[in-house]
Amino acid sequence: MRVFVITGISGSGKSVALNALEDAGYDCVDNLPVDFIQSIVDSLKQQGRERIAVAIDARRGQSITGLPAIIDALSKDHDVRVLFLNANTETLVQRFSETRRRHPLSQSDDHRTPQVALEEAIEKERSLLAPLAETAHNIDTSHIKSHTLRSWISELIKDDHPGLTLLFESFGFKHGVPRDADLVFDVRCLPNPHYDPKLKPLTGNDIEVANFLKEQADVSAMGDDIRGFIEKWLPNYQADRRSYLTIAIGCTGGQHRSVYLVNCLFDYFKKKHQGQKTLYLLKRHRELH
């Protein structure tokens, strides 16, 4: 069976992700007790079901610390993918303020102060879920809308591909480094089309910007170095039996240089690995969304 485990920080979009998986034909269960995962997977397998998605978060308290061991046990017989959704504290505070919902860890263990501050509850949750974030595919939802997250989830599960998903992501440093990045490359030292009045309103997807950057020797050299690094170490990441590897390319605003280089890298690896069933390629431009 394909088992998708969705977890992450409260307010980061787990319900949106679960709805996207349900629309894709998965049997979905929200807020499932950790100890019930194995039994529900076994039950659905007996019914002939092939895909299940479960959402688990901090509402389960300390029991969630046992989730990594359960995932390891499931992985022996099933194709298990773990998706961890995250967002920065400022964004989470704003979302809780807009929805007026209480954080699941807002209840204090101290009877003298029954409630804790929202920021404190968020940090407590980050600490509790940190071991899960280290082994999962991370998506930072701080700067994206719900419909964009749904689109990204749909891309991840497209064709239920096996092997490693290699994801190239452009971003702007002024908006923060993506939390979901495994490798980050800084290309702010390269010539910037932003200072050309004709190119400023365009993006790295436009042919005019692409032609400008293609003519810059430093841009070509940087692209070659990043490509060489990925080619050298990609087999090691595949041997590590990873499901996802996110490579983030950042410039100042995430509009020109990073977008262009992500497009170049994506096109190169897509052509080189065309037809291989053990490597699936995706690209996204965070700031353009």
Between helix 207-214 and helix 217-239 the angle, nearest 10°, is: 100
CB-CB contact of 56 with 32 (8 Å): yes
Residue 64 is predicted with a pLDDT of 78
- What pLDDT tens digit does each residue of the chain (289 aa) get? 889 999 999 999 999 999 999 988 899 998 888 888 889 999 988 998 889 999 987 776 667 778 888 888 898 889 888 999 999 999 999 988 888 788 877 766 554 555 678 888 898 888 888 888 887 888 999 888 888 899 888 888 875 556 788 999 999 999 999 888 999 999 999 999 999 999 999 999 999 999 999 999 999 999 999 999 999 999 998 888 677 899 999 999 999 999 999 999 999 999 998 877 778 899 999 999 7
CA 8 to CA 94: how far, in whole Å?
A: 17
> Coil, strand or helix: which one is 205?
coil
CATH class of 2-160: alpha beta
3-state secondary structure of 116: coil
Q: Given this model, what pLDDT does residue 109 score?
A: 56
Per-residue confidence (pLDDT) for residue 211, from 0 to 100: 97
State whether residue 287 is helix, strand or coil. coil
CA distance 136 to 132: 6
As a whole number of angstroms, the longest Cα–Cα distance in the chain is 66
147-150 contacts, C-beta under 8 A, 24 or more apart: 148/289, 149/13, 149/16, 149/17, 149/20, 150/16, 150/17, 150/19, 150/20
Buried b (16+ CB within 10 A) or exposed e, 57-83: bbebeeebeebeebbeebeeeeebbbb
Residue 24 confidence (pLDDT): 86
What is residue 161's predicted lDDT score, i.e. its pLDDT? Answer: 59
Burial classification of residue 250, based on how many CB atoms lie within 10 Å of its CB (0-12 exposed, 13-18 middle, 19 or more buried): buried
Write down the pLDDT at residue 170: 97
Question: pTM for the complete prediction?
Answer: 0.68
Interacting residues of 270 by C-beta distance below 8 A, sequence separation 6+: 281
All CATH 3.40.50.300 domain ranges of the chain, comma separated, are 2-160
Q: Among all chains, which residue has been given the structure tokens 């994801």?
A: 167
Other C-beta atoms lying within 10 Å of the C-beta of residue 12 = 25
